[in-house]
Amino acid sequence: MNDPYKVLNVPSTATDEEVKKAYRELARKYHPDNYHDNPLADLAQEKMKEINEAYSTIQKMRHQSGGQASYSGQGGYSRSSYGGYGGYQQADYSQGTPFQRVRFAIQRNDLNMAEQLLSAISDHTAEWHFLRGAICMRRGWLDEARRSFQQACAMDPGNGEYRQALERLENSGQAYRPAGFEVFTSDCGSSNLCGGLLCSYCLCNSCIGGTMCC
């Protein structure tokens, strides 16, 4: 296994508090919510496993007895699912309801199969729209995904799974960002935000001999 301190990007002299802070920052970065319906979810899951193991190892090294308890307190991060379609441990496409088969295909990242299975279902229920949205998400067709999730939520407003999918897509400030990064594309207008861009022009111009003034 890699040096656990290297994995958490802290020196071995870091205090318990610093180790914990570094762990939390990384766990927030690779949190399943940031990789839901993402074709790279498996890579994020690997990262998370590595981080959890590194933190656990450091805890064990430092607190031979009490460490385990404090680590398991953080376990919530590793429990959430990256695919969001867990619980369907089927072996092939012949099992389960039609919707379960679609979920199974999505989980395996077999999007063409998922689409094919979905198009064979004529009853366009809320779940149908939700699953269409999930397929669009993975393909990167984010506008269609949003419309499908909206449709699913409109048809079944009480469903938490559909609402969460829509909220994740619309973000509302939940996704990970490093400290100090706060700008969003704003739909309510704020004119002082392009300041940093002008600096970029400067950066550009200084390289080509400053032929344009900014």
Partner 1 sequence: MFGYVRPAADHLSEEESRAYKALYCGLCHTLGRRYGGVSRWILNYDFTFLAALLSGTVATEQRRCIASPFRARTAAVGNDALDLAADCSVILTGYKLRDEVLDSSFLRSQGCRAAGAVLGGAFRKACERRPRFAGHTKEEMARLLSLEQRRCATLDEPADTFASLLAGIAGEVEDPVQRRVLTQFLYHLGRWIYLVDALDDLEKDAGEGQYNPILLRCGLQDGKLSGEDRRSVVVTLDASIRQMAAAFELWDFGPWSGVIRATVYDGLYRVGNAVLEGTFHASPRKKDRGGKKEHI
In sequence order, the 6+-apart residues with CB closer than 8 A to the CB of 198 are: 214
Q: How far is CA 62 from CA 14, 20, 66, 67, 189, in A?
A: 11, 13, 9, 7, 51
Residue closer to partner 1 by CB (options 63, 147) is: 147
For 46-68, give the DSSP string. Answer: HHHHHHHHHHHHHHHHH-TTTHH
Q: How far is CA 205 from CA 7, 96, 139, 197, 214, in A?
A: 39, 61, 38, 12, 9
Of 25, 38, 93, 99, which one interacts with partner 1 (CB under 8 A)?
A: 38
d(CA 79, CA 55): 16
Contact between 214 and partner 1 per CB under 8 A: yes
Contact between 142 and partner 1 per CB under 8 A: yes
* Maximal C-alpha separation, the chain: 67
Residue closer to partner 1 by CB (options 154, 198) is: 198
Tokens of 114: 């998922």
Q: Alpha-carbon dihedral of residues 88, 91, 94, 98, nearest 10 degrees?
A: 20
Of 53, 144, 156, 161, which one interacts with partner 1 (CB under 8 A)?
A: 144
Tell me the window of 38-46, 48-56, 80-88, 101-109 that interacts with partner 1 (CB under 8 A): 38-46
Q: Name which of residues 145 to 164 contact partner 1 (CB under 8 A).
A: 146
Contact between 112 and partner 1 per CB under 8 A: no
- Interaction pattern, residues 181-200, with partner 1; x per rule: CB under 8 A: x-xxxxx-xxx-xx-xxxxx
Residue closer to partner 1 by CB (options 73, 181) is: 181
- Give the residue among 5, 1, 7, 22 at the shortest CA–CA distance from 58: 5
Q: How far is the CB of 100 from partner 1 (least distance, A)?
A: 27
Q: How far is the CB of 143 from partner 1 (least distance, A)?
A: 4
Residues that bind partner 1 (CB under 8 A): 29-30, 34-35, 38-40, 43-44, 47, 136, 139-144, 146, 169-171, 175-178, 180-181, 183-187, 189-191, 193-194, 196-204, 206-209, 211-212, 214
